[in-house]
Amino acid sequence: MTPIRPKFSNPPLIERAIGVAFDPLPSFSIGDYGLFWSELIGEFPLSEAMEPVSVEVEQFSEFRPAQASFQIVPASVLPRAGFRNPATGELIQVQPNRFGFNWIKTGVDHQYPHSEATFERFFHLLERFAGFVERRGYGPLSFVQCELTNVNVIPVADVGESFVDIATVIRMPRMEISCAELRLENQLIGAKHAILDDGGNPIGRVHSLGQPTLRVEGDEQVYRLDIVARGAPIGAGVDGLKRFYEFAVTALNGVFLGSVTQAGRKFWGEHHG
């Protein structure tokens, strides 16, 4: 694997999320959220309850057509707990089968600390959660899935006057139609890529979706590009997580660079070193 590690002075990245799923902890209870938060409250002074999220596991052994389905969630299912530091933009998310860490941009002067720093912070906090689980007697965490997400937001006003002008920084399929009564207003872009190991075997996937939307603050027109890398750990324990994330970062960066134009890379201040 040849690492892809672009650097930008002013990237469009507004959020990075790193998460792991593990075998459920049957004895984990609502009180454990409070006990764990008590160990973090100095760094994460705010707490919140959120809907639990499902664990999505990438499958490669056979083709499975998409099927409509629904799931009834019993009342006893625990919520997802969030512990937040609004000053740093850090968020921890915990549920009985998931742990996640988010860095969220809090303002124009809040610079992304880069991949190495966010992973160092994630593994430090994951170690603290794993230690808490061990002390509670719930056994070691058995990891089953890794996830890495970058959320990029590009204000339309930065590149032009309408969503069509996003094509100056985002690669858009050509949609020329010979019809005077039609004018293109916006486009969605999306793709799914397999992540391959050094032997060419699939170990995960990257899902990307770009779409026009409105920023909550002020109804500002923006284009949002979400890129998610997901797959199983490559080996046991934390080392297995780290090996997968090495591939995931390269795959995610490769998809980003393939989704933007040279003008966009220059606009965001790509540099080396």
Q: Name the amino acid, one letter, at 104.
A: I
pLDDT exceeds 90 at position 182: no
pLDDT exceeds 50 at position 95: yes
DSSP letters along 147-159, please?
Answer: EEEEEEEEEHHHH
pLDDT of 251: 96
Taking the whole predicted model, whether its pTM rises above 0.75 is answered as: yes
Q: Give tens-digit pLDDT for 13-65.
A: 999 999 999 999 999 999 999 999 999 999 999 999 999 988 888 887 654 44
pLDDT band at 139 (very low <50, low <70, confident <90, very high): confident
pLDDT band at 72 (very low <50, low <70, confident <90, very high): very low
The two three-digit tokens of residue 207, written as one number: 């899902």
Domain boundaries in the chain?
7-59+78-271
pLDDT exceeds 80 at position 108: yes
pLDDT band at 179 (very low <50, low <70, confident <90, very high): confident
As a whole number of angstroms, the longest Cα–Cα distance in the chain is 70
Question: Which residues fall within 8 angstroms of residue 146, CB to CB, at 6 or more apart?
Answer: 19, 20, 21, 204, 230, 231, 232, 233, 241, 244, 245, 248
pLDDT band at 127 (very low <50, low <70, confident <90, very high): very high
Q: Give tens-digit pLDDT for 244-268.
A: 999 999 999 999 999 999 999 999 9
Residue with tokens 């010979």: 178
pLDDT of 159: 92
User: Is the separation of the CB atoms in 82 and 92 below 8 Å?
Assistant: yes
pLDDT of 75: 39
The average pLDDT across 114-125 equals 96
The average pLDDT across 212-220 equals 79
Averaged confidence pLDDT in the chain: 89
